[in-house]
A and B are shown apart, each in its own frame.
Chain A
Amino acid sequence: MEIPFTVKPRPDTGLWNAKVGIWLFLASEVMLFGGLFSAYIFLRIGADFPWPVHVLKVPLGFINTFVLIFSSVTVLQAWLALKMRQYTRYKIWMALTILCALGFMVIKAFEYSDKIHHYGVRMQDGSVLEGHLANGEYNVKFGEVTTVTLATRATSKGLFNINLVSPASDAGFLKFITSGNPEFKDTSGKTVTLNSAEISRLVKDAEKNKQPTIKLTTMAPLKFAINPSKIADYTASKVIFKDGTEIEGKLEDDTLRLEADMVDLRRLFPLNEDRIKDALAAVQNADAWRVLPAEWKEKFLVHNKKETDKFIKKHKGHNPMENADFVRDAFSMPISLHADGGHAAEPEKKADHKAAVSTNHDAPHAEEGGHHDHPEIAIEKKDIAFYSNFTPKYNNYYAIYFALTGLHGLHVMAGALVLTYMLFFGKRIYKVNPEHQANRVETVGLFWHFVDLVWIFLFPLLYLM
């Protein structure tokens, strides 16, 4: 006996099985994205930091919207071609749809990598500098390293003393050595040259003897330049890596050098600061202000004055400090050696002041290698309260941005996979029963439109508002 209603609709419901199935699935997808959107609004309403607005590149988002809408049209054309029993045309439209999906993902990849290479630094008082790392990297430099202590973490064990993964030191720290060879003496005076195999042997022996650590002394002092993401904690004389390894030496340099493209001083004064004079006074006391080159301080004041005058002219009698848009525009400023605070050559300039600021701030690094347009600012570690690239860690705007677009991207990829399957392996079913293949394409199509539909909300929510 065959399962009924796989192709022909059931008379009383008027639906074939897969159609019921996909709509049910979409209902659950509505709840999934509903949950995410609800999280977005909850976080935005409750945010205790200025919610970033207009920080993504609108043209890219716009192109992607166009791509997805177009692919929605093509997938329908593919389905209609099947309905008209034109298999070749079906294949062409399907291929186009898949290309659109790929195009979408490529653009997304560019956007992601752009964000990942962009950093923000929040100073102790809340003032913020944004930009790219000088030379694209930031390392904590340690010198005169004389001892290295490997950890066995013999006491971190799972149930029944079974560990599926090892918590002990591994060879990860070796790749941060910038000068010197990894040659050591152990406590018994034997010399060892560390590498991955050697370390796991040492750790195993130590575990057998219930020894929590393995202390090694260097033959000659070493120098390290360490990626901070691998560090659990460090002081002036010691670094503890996440895998438990400790090195002792001398902190040489942990200054962060930023090619700054934006200064944002909004977090300096409380949200209810309603006098522009006090706000300006606070600005000129800020940590970020201290490190800002003098010419930019001047430019900032000019910029602020200009925004203030503009606002007052436009909204007579209103207090500008009560307007979040004004506060954003007047107390943050793009930094670019070329564009001169940049109110020129911006396509959206005519539209509104809001647009001007955002596009400016994106403009410089849109050109390849454009980082040299920005002054390099050295920020001491002690002044930094928090820093991160523009990943979910930076703030909840980027967090929800990556969560929403990431999940949406997964949907695009899943859809593209199924579409590809339908394109290359659809012939067999088509030959047996063309209507069956049409139904299958309609089902994927419904999913694909849903992906489009989600993007229709994502685009304005993340890019425009």
Chain B
Amino acid sequence: MSATAATPDDLSHSDHAHEHPKQSFLWKYIFSTDHKIIGLQYGITSLLFLLVGFFLMMVMRWSIAFPGKPLPLIGTIIGDNWAPGGVVSPDLYNMFGAMHGTIMVFLGVVPLGFAAFGNYVVPLQIGAVDMAFPKLNAWSFWLFLIGGVMMLASFFMPTGSAQVGWTNYSPLATTVQYLDVKNIFFTGQTQWLLSMIFIISSSLLGAVNFVTTILNVRCRGMTWMRMPFFVWAMLVTGFLLLLAFPPLEVAAILQLFDRVFGSSFFLPTGLVEGGRHLDIAGGGSPLLYQHLFWFLGHPEVYVLILPAISIVAEIIPCHVRRPLWGHKTMIYAVLVLGFLSFIVWAHHMYLTGMGTVVSTFFQITTVLISVPSVILLTCLMITLWGGSIRFNSAMLFACAFLPMFGIGGLTGLPLAFNMIDLYLHDTYYVIGHFHYVVAPGSLFALFAGIYHWYPKMAGRFMNETLGRIHFWPSLVFMNLLFGPMMIQGMAGFHRRWYDGGMAFEETTKSFLWMNELMSFAAWGLALAQIPFIFNVFYSIKHGKKVTSDNPWQATTMEWDTPTPPGHGNFLHEPVAYRQPYEYSVTGAEEDYQPQFLPDGAKPEDKLTHAGH
């Protein structure tokens, strides 16, 4: 869809001699190496994956709210094997739970935040004609797609897909779908590992490309401190992906060895499965898997949140008409955050009985890492102070991001402490906590980004009324959905219960009614996304047309390009003349001084490009 959005009707005016006017559709939009097209490809695929992940979750919410009752319509479609009589079986719940987590994290939010927005916006913001390695960029997308398709195909293995949670802990992940299968290779668990290897390789290529681009392909005048916060955050995210993913790749490869070659990396001696002694050597360590997994796992949550928070950091100054408060502070904060995120991982493992020394270490670093996060959020809030805020859809989502992310972050603090985590670990409190970060947090920021950059991509604004119909119900439902989870969690509700706690009715009964509330909120949330989906398509052709290349009167370099930007992006050599957020500069005639504005020129001169 956005492929047509990017159709540069007016590209013909651009004077790039080397452009082939008659490139076939296939090469131009499918096998393109242009960073903007690749960004859109990532965007479309990841939004589709988000939808799939969302669908899985809605089925799970039925099972939680109405355990044992047949799920109307979908239950029968799913088939007798997984939903006998239309009732969601525990196995189906496990399968959907594992795949919801995996799809949302690795195929939804990360590709949307990092790869889609990063690809589209980063080269534009640093004044580059493309990424440093365009072909590698295309490879990265195609590897991602292969991984994603394999992940979806694993639903149709005889065993169904992976069922051991997105964390895929050994030994369970090794020993399920292990005995009594015809071919260990064609099992959901094995396919999960293989597709993860594709996804990881894709991330690595992408990360190399991003970091190289940012380090080496900045335009003239784009010094380190003139880079917008978004670019800084992407640089740090790139490093997180680059250095944190390989240990997960190791974990995946070793687990693959365990499953396919029968080794015992993560399998202790004397393991029994289904009453049978497994035919393995033993002597391995399940904890090794957890260490390798969480070495990625924690940096990964910053990969989920940094693109989001930095999109908000681009939107707020523009729609508040005030410079980003503490641009430099935020840069240092994000660098410290990136560093610390590598040495906090074992706070996910307090319950494994690890030594007190190392536990203390991880408690300290975990508390420390909250400091830069708080700095980032505070800077964004101070930026709002005294501004003249434009409340359009982008800004509404950006503003809602702040308290939502705030709640998510603050509820995480108690979990940093061993003593508290021993109680709260693996309860719905944790589910509520991190969903506040990734759902009304990351997702809202990503929506904001779509509303904000859509005019540059499509040449038209998204519809504001639909935007509001999207925003307000989403905000309400998100809180109805995740707020009660915290309460249930403190009451001892365990995560990954397919029946929402019905089996322990004695102790859970006073909180069971919340299940229905949350489930209806989830389905309401789904309805609230319909205006958004409609809006995206509708506005391609029918949105309000932009009259300027810089419709928001923004200051960063991406608004110096024609709309939409053609191959090669800029019509003249881009130069950064000043800091990225020069709004309301004292003494200046206009209330903003774009980064690409030469001294003495007026912003209006830069609003449109000749030939429009």
What residues of chain A have their CB less than 8 Å away from a CB belonging to chain B?
1-5, 10, 13, 15-18, 20-21, 24-25, 27-29, 31-32, 34-36, 39, 42-43, 46-49, 153, 155-168, 232-233, 242-244, 386, 388, 391-396, 398-400, 402-403, 407
Are A403 and B257 in touch, CB under 8 angstroms? yes
Tell me which residues across on chain A come within 8 A of B280, comparing CB atoms.
386, 393
A382 to B247, CA, bound (A): 41
| Contact of B358 with A by CB under 8 A | no
| Contact of B216 with A by CB under 8 A | yes
Sample of 7 further A-B pairs with CB below 8 A, known A21-B209, A165-B157, A168-B182: A3-B134, A21-B133, A43-B288, A163-B158, A388-B281, A392-B261, A399-B263
Tell me which residues across on chain B come within 8 A of A3, comparing CB atoms.
128-130, 132, 134, 217
Known contacts A158-B158, A396-B263, A36 near B250 by CB under 8 Å: yes
Are A28 and B254 in touch, CB under 8 angstroms? no
Known contacts A1-B568, A20-B215, A167-B181, A155 near B263 by CB under 8 Å: no
Are A24 and B285 in touch, CB under 8 angstroms? no
Task: Pick the contact of B216: A13, A36, A395 (CB < 8 A).
Answer: A13
| Contact of B180 with A by CB under 8 A | yes
Are B134 and A396 in touch, CB under 8 angstroms? no
| Contact of B16 with A by CB under 8 A | yes
Known contacts A20-B215, A27-B242, A159 near B285 by CB under 8 Å: no
Total chain B interface residues with beta-carbon distance under 8 A: 70
A27 to B238, CA, bound (A): 12
Known contacts A1-B570, A156-B158, A399-B265, A242 near B250 by CB under 8 Å: no
A181 to B269, CA, bound (A): 43
Are A159 and B16 in touch, CB under 8 angstroms? no
Binds A, one of B74-82, B490-498, B516-524, B548-556: B74-82
| Contact of B30 with A by CB under 8 A | no
Known contacts A46-B285, A399-B265, A35 near B250 by CB under 8 Å: yes
| Contact of B153 with A by CB under 8 A | yes
Known contacts A2-B129, A31-B246, A31-B247, A244 near B182 by CB under 8 Å: yes
Task: Pick the contact of A159: B78, B180, B204, B246 (CB < 8 A).
Answer: B78
Tell me which residues across on chain B come within 8 A of A29, comparing CB atoms.
246
Are B132 and A25 in touch, CB under 8 angstroms? no
- Write out, one digit per residue, whether chain B residues 160-182 have a CB within 8 A of any chain A CB (1) or not (0): 11000000000000000001111
Task: Pick the contact of A39: B156, B243, B292 (CB < 8 A).
Answer: B292
| Contact of B514 with A by CB under 8 A | no
A46 to B265, CA, bound (A): 11
A161 to B80, CA, bound (A): 8
**8 tightest CB-CB pairs across the interface, nearest first?**
A35-B250, A399-B263, A392-B263, A158-B156, A167-B158, A32-B246, A393-B262, A31-B246
- Nearest to B251 among chain A residues (CB) is A35
Known contacts A3-B134, A157-B158, A243 near B263 by CB under 8 Å: no
Are A395 and B283 in touch, CB under 8 angstroms? yes
Tell me which residues across on chain B come within 8 A of A398, comparing CB atoms.
263
- Nearest to A46 among chain B residues (CB) is B285
A233 to B275, CA, bound (A): 13
Are A159 and B208 in touch, CB under 8 angstroms? no
Tell me which residues across on chain B come within 8 A of A25, comparing CB atoms.
204, 208
- Write out, one digit per residue, whether chain B residues 269-305 have a CB within 8 A of any chain A CB (1) or not (0): 1000000100111111100100110010000000000
Are A164 and B212 in touch, CB under 8 angstroms? no
- Nearest to A161 among chain B residues (CB) is B79
Task: Pick the contact of A10: B133, B156, B216 (CB < 8 A).
Answer: B216
Are B79 and A160 in touch, CB under 8 angstroms? yes
Interface residues of B in 183-229 (CB under 8 A from A): 183, 186, 204, 207-209, 211-212, 215-217
Tell me which residues across on chain B come within 8 A of A160, comparing CB atoms.
77-79, 156
| Contact of B253 with A by CB under 8 A | yes
Tell me which residues across on chain A come within 8 A of B569, comparing CB atoms.
1
Tell me which residues across on chain B come within 8 A of A10, comparing CB atoms.
216
- Nearest to B132 among chain A residues (CB) is A17
Tell me which residues across on chain B come within 8 A of A394, comparing CB atoms.
281
The count of A-to-B residue pairs whose CB atoms sit within 8 angstroms is 199
A204 to B531, CA, bound (A): 46
Are B160 and A158 in touch, CB under 8 angstroms? yes
Known contacts A31-B243, A159-B155, A232-B179, A42 near B207 by CB under 8 Å: no
Tell me which residues across on chain A come within 8 A of B254, comparing CB atoms.
39, 399, 403
Known contacts A27-B242, A393-B263, A32 near B250 by CB under 8 Å: yes
Task: Pick the contact of A243: B79, B182, B204, B243 (CB < 8 A).
Answer: B182
| Contact of B249 with A by CB under 8 A | yes
Are A161 and B81 in touch, CB under 8 angstroms? yes
Tell me which residues across on chain B come within 8 A of A18, comparing CB atoms.
133
Shortest B175–chain A CB gap in Å is 14
Are B129 and A164 in touch, CB under 8 angstroms? no
| Contact of B245 with A by CB under 8 A | yes
What residues of chain B have their CB less than 8 Å away from a CB belonging to chain A?
16, 77-82, 128-130, 132-134, 136, 153, 155-161, 179-183, 186, 204, 207-209, 211-212, 215-217, 242-247, 249-251, 253-254, 257, 261-265, 269, 276, 279-285, 288, 291-292, 295, 568-570
Are A167 and B182 in touch, CB under 8 angstroms? yes
* 24 contacting pairs across A/B (C-beta < 8 A): A3-B134, A21-B132, A21-B208, A25-B208, A28-B204, A28-B208, A32-B246, A32-B247, A32-B250, A34-B246, A35-B250, A42-B291, A43-B283, A156-B158, A158-B156, A158-B158, A159-B155, A167-B158, A168-B182, A386-B281, A391-B261, A391-B262, A400-B265, A403-B257
Task: Pick the contact of A396: B79, B207, B264, B276 (CB < 8 A).
Answer: B264
Are A28 and B246 in touch, CB under 8 angstroms? yes
Shortest B53–chain A CB gap in Å is 15
Known contacts A27-B243, A42-B288, A159 near B249 by CB under 8 Å: no
Known contacts A35-B247, A386-B281, A159 near B133 by CB under 8 Å: no
A279 to B445, CA, bound (A): 68
Shortest B92–chain A CB gap in Å is 8
A275 to B242, CA, bound (A): 53
Are B292 and A158 in touch, CB under 8 angstroms? no
Tell me which residues across on chain B come within 8 A of A159, comparing CB atoms.
78-79, 82, 155-156, 160-161
A337 to B245, CA, bound (A): 52
Tell me which residues across on chain A come within 8 A of B243, comparing CB atoms.
27-28, 31
Shortest A226–chain B CB gap in Å is 16
Shortest A79–chain B CB gap in Å is 21
A8 to B244, CA, bound (A): 31
Are B281 and A21 in touch, CB under 8 angstroms? no
A16 to B216, CA, bound (A): 7
Known contacts A35-B292, A156-B159, A1 near B284 by CB under 8 Å: no
Tell me which residues across on chain A come within 8 A of B257, comparing CB atoms.
392, 399, 402-403
Tell me which residues across on chain A come within 8 A of B249, comparing CB atoms.
32, 35
Shortest B265–chain A CB gap in Å is 6
Tell me which residues across on chain B come within 8 A of A43, comparing CB atoms.
265, 283-285, 288
Tell me which residues across on chain B come within 8 A of A395, comparing CB atoms.
264, 281, 283
A15 to B218, CA, bound (A): 13
Known contacts A157-B81, A159-B82, A164-B156, A402 near B250 by CB under 8 Å: no
A243 to B295, CA, bound (A): 38
A1 to B282, CA, bound (A): 59
Task: Pick the contact of B212: A2, A17, A31, A156 (CB < 8 A).
Answer: A17
Q: Choose among A16, A233, A399 the residue with the greatest number of B CB atoms under 10 Å from its CB.
A: A399
A53 to B209, CA, bound (A): 42
Are B265 and A396 in touch, CB under 8 angstroms? yes
Are B157 and A39 in touch, CB under 8 angstroms? no
Known contacts A17-B212, A393-B281, A158 near B155 by CB under 8 Å: yes
A395 to B212, CA, bound (A): 42
Are B216 and A42 in touch, CB under 8 angstroms? no
A158 to B264, CA, bound (A): 28
A283 to B362, CA, bound (A): 47
Known contacts A43-B285, A47-B283, A392 near B253 by CB under 8 Å: no
